Structure 1
């Protein structure tokens, strides 16, 4: 059934100035609809028992045995805190290393073994999620038609925490149709090779080995991920079209578990469309400016109308805070309301001066709060990838 033959959903127009005319009803994901449907499920009516149904005396139920607890012993509460302090949680078996709990453990020289606090347990769970085994090579596309919306910064942050906790197998690839900034925000390590150099080599020999591929990548040191940068000459990058991207992507996905694609600003470019076809998951980074948010919503609509409904409904929107803070809070609230109605996931990355300098990004130099936010993003990415089919 073609898209035009499908029944139209009732659309909901946003009142926000930056999103006028955008029909978010078309972007509502099945996950959000399912969640709302579950909330509307009626409670089952209790069965009635007549006198004829009772055949004899009713025996009282057997007493329930309750495990006794020593005075002062912790009993897990239901909900989140109960899960965090459950003896079944493997993250609690390792003594605390952070917070006041970790300070006490270090001060005691190992004599005491204080359990980790809530924040540390959540951090450990995120890391465990990041380290999940993937069933095949996966591709993540970062897209927003606005320039300066945080695509490259998000790609470096995500690649950094993924590589740091997975121990490698991650590459960030610049797929800009003109001139990308990935080469400016990553460590060159003495290499000036770009995607064009790899393309030329691949055309000569498609059976590259991992060692031969590594010569064209820029390793990011302790972060354990690689970068495939674009050329700094815009006229050269116009040589990258659909077929060229597919050739490069085939080589990268042959050797890397995660291929993170940092795209340009033109959703109609052939290399962008090829990346959308290859993508397993979509991330839409945006800043807090109204024009950036408007273009983020346009990007979602463009991809949806191009037939990438699954990518859009499963997308993650990444909001990077700027130094203005509360000044942009109203804009972000409007965006959150719009995306929440579409059932989309939102991750907010706090402002970090290291990311705001426009220089090389080193994940080890991020503030703890910022790094933990990227870890939550990476854990959500890993969770979504694990739910996808095993085959492309």
Structure 2
């Protein structure tokens, strides 16, 4: 590869030369067998379906498709209107919390924080996929996905990927703080090969400010929806490189969402703190119980308070959702999350931050230990 140039274009040229009679991509030096969590690469290679090295133009199969242009996640004309991020807790609430911490013995709180951190950090032998979905849009599904991605990035020391599987103008790149997007899931299906190393893969991903990586479903424009085959190909290929992959799915009952929920190691269903939201989520839990391999044992519900004026009794809502035997984590209303735009971990309210860690711990526990 050339030094100082666009190495991604060099990769495309190399693959194109191999397809036209040069060195075949399959004869490149094999990548190191070390993986994010000690995954066995041979198993993934055997399962990875063959894919063309480069996406082709429909009108001329001999000409490689050009690399996509970078597109800003937020229109620059609108970005100036985002304003300064506000803290999730008011100044008075932050002050009161600090005073209570000074007066109360810290032993029990520290022990619980340590336990949750150990759950989030537990080692894996193969990449784990955690799928996040909901019964409808606008209930905090992408927000929860971004919170999980940032929490795993903060606590873990191995690679973490946030993958967007919602092509309906998804907002995960914005919530994760990505400034621009370039390559999408569909683009990578024609590029990924089993011999690629992690450093090759990350060149096609969006780096996240707090650590970790992001792969968007598209470039924020209306287009063809993400299909099941593309989702399966990308997730199967990428889980070799990442210890944890958080998938922001489309809403149920979408086909990709159902596939993701059926094939993930753990599932998070986001329920809004409303009577109809809780009732609909309970129906989803009943559906998960009827899958060929019952998924309730690996499912967690995130009960999200999307408004400060919620009147539904949280204890009653939690009890109703827990009846099938799933844990429920209450995500309280947070001013910073409600503001929209990029999520800044330092600006989250303490309750929202604690809930994110608890949710990550519950999901990781089920992704690793529950069979």
Q: TM-score range by the shorter chain?
A: 0.5 to 0.7
Select the residue among 221, 242, 251 that pairs with 1:233: 221
Q: Equivalent residue for 2:306?
A: 322
How big is the shift at 1:306?
4.0
1:124-163 correspondence runs (5 A) = 124-163=114-153
1:171 aligns with 2:161: yes
Gaps of 5+ in 1: 1-97, 105-113
Aligned pairs, how many?
A: 274
Structure number having the greater helix percentage: 1
Does the aligned pair in 2 maintain the 1:99–1:117 contact within 8 Å?
Answer: no
User: In 2 relative to 1, CA 328–216 (structure 1 residues): closer, same or farther, beyond 3 Å?
Assistant: farther
How big is the shift at 1:101?
11
Give per-residue Cα distances to partners, 1:19-73, cap 9 Å, x unaligned: xxxxxxxxxxxxxxxxxxxxxxxxxxxxxxxxxxxxxxxxxxxxxxxxxxxxxxx
Select the residue among 166, 170, 189 that pairs with 1:180: 170
Does the aligned pair in 2 maintain the 1:145–1:264 contact within 8 Å?
Answer: no
TM-score (norm 2): 0.67
Select the residue among 340, 353, 356 that pairs with 1:374: 356
Q: Equivalent residue for 2:205?
A: 217
Q: Equivalent residue for 1:262?
A: 248
Does the aligned pair in 2 maintain the 1:141–1:282 contact within 8 Å?
Answer: yes
How big is the shift at 1:383?
2.2
Select the residue among 327, 338, 360 that pairs with 1:356: 338
How big is the shift at 1:177?
4.8
Select the residue among 260, 263, 272 that pairs with 2:257: 272
Mapped to 2, the partners of 1:347 and 1:369 lie a distance apart of 11
Mapped to 1, the partners of 2:365 and 2:280 lie a distance apart of 27
Indicate the SS of the match to 2:239.
helix
Q: Equivalent residue for 1:207?
A: 195
How big is the shift at 1:99?
6.2
Mapped to 2, the partners of 1:356 and 1:275 lie a distance apart of 27
How big is the shift at 1:266?
3.6
User: In 2 relative to 1, CA 292–199 (structure 1 residues): closer, same or farther, beyond 3 Å?
Assistant: farther
Mapped to 2, the partners of 1:191 and 1:179 lie a distance apart of 13
User: In 2 relative to 1, CA 124–297 (structure 1 residues): closer, same or farther, beyond 3 Å?
Assistant: same
Q: Equivalent residue for 1:250?
A: 236
Select the residue among 286, 289, 307 that pairs with 1:304: 289
Mapped to 1, the partners of 2:108 and 2:196 lie a distance apart of 47
Select the residue among 262, 265, 280 that pairs with 1:295: 280
Indicate the SS of the match to 1:328.
coil
How big is the shift at 1:323?
3.2
User: In 2 relative to 1, CA 216–362 (structure 1 residues): closer, same or farther, beyond 3 Å?
Assistant: farther
Indicate the SS of the match to 2:312.
helix
Give per-residue Cα distances to partners, 1:95-128, cap 9 Å, x unaligned: xxx9679979xxxxxxxxx984322222122112
TM-score (norm 1): 0.63
Mapped to 2, the partners of 1:304 and 1:258 lie a distance apart of 24
Indicate the SS of the match to 2:149.
helix
Q: Equivalent residue for 1:335?
A: 317
How big is the shift at 1:129?
2.1
Mapped to 2, the partners of 1:99 and 1:295 lie a distance apart of 39
Does the aligned pair in 2 maintain the 1:199–1:244 contact within 8 Å?
Answer: yes
Indicate the SS of the match to 1:221.
coil
Indicate the SS of the match to 2:201.
helix
How big is the shift at 1:253?
0.3
Gaps of 5+ in 2: 1-96
